[in-house]
């Protein structure tokens, strides 16, 4: 197995948001992940921190399926959020 090679491989998409002024970081993560959807179409998830309480939602399928066209992020309050769209590789 070769560890180093001359090609850059793109798999998955990860994004994090820190918002100093508002508590809807998960919604911004959702829109960023939507733009990265081509990087992973097997599963998606978002976690948000609300004053030390971490809430998350994840599932198999496209981002829009997991989060019901953006409505699923309403329960993820907080000013810090991270999300991922996943593509499995061997």
| Catalytic residue selected from 9, 11, 12, 88 | 12
Rounded to the nearest integer, the mean pLDDT of the chain is: 85
Contacts of 32 (CB under 8 A, 6+ apart): 15, 17, 83
The total number of structural domains in the chain stands at: 1
Cα–Cα distance for residue pair 39/84, rounded to 1 Å: 10
Domain assignment present for residue 3? The answer is no
How confident is the model over 16-53, as pLDDT tens digits? 999 988 778 999 999 999 998 888 888 999 999 988 99
Burial class (CB within 10 angstroms; exposed 0-12, middle 13-18, buried 19+) of 9: exposed
Compute the average pLDDT of residues 55-66: 92
Question: Nearest-CA neighbor of 25 among 44, 48, 45?
Answer: 48
Q: Is residue 2 part of a domain?
A: no
Query: Is 32 considered catalytic here?
Result: no
Report if residue 42 sits inside a domain.
Answer: yes
Beta bridge partners of 81: 17, 48
Domain boundaries, position 79: 13-86
């Amino acid at each position: 197995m070769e560890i180093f090679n001359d090609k850059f491989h793109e798999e998955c998409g990860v994004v994090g948001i820190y918002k100093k002024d508002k508590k809807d970081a998960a919604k911004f993560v959702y829109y960023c992940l939507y733009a990265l959807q081509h990087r992973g179409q097997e599963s998606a998830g978002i976690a948000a921190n609300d004053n030390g309480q971490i809430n998350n939602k994840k599932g198999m399928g496209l981002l829009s399926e997991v989060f019901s066209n953006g409505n699923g992020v309403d329960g993820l309050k907080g000013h810090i959020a991270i999300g991922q769209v996943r593509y499995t590789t061997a």
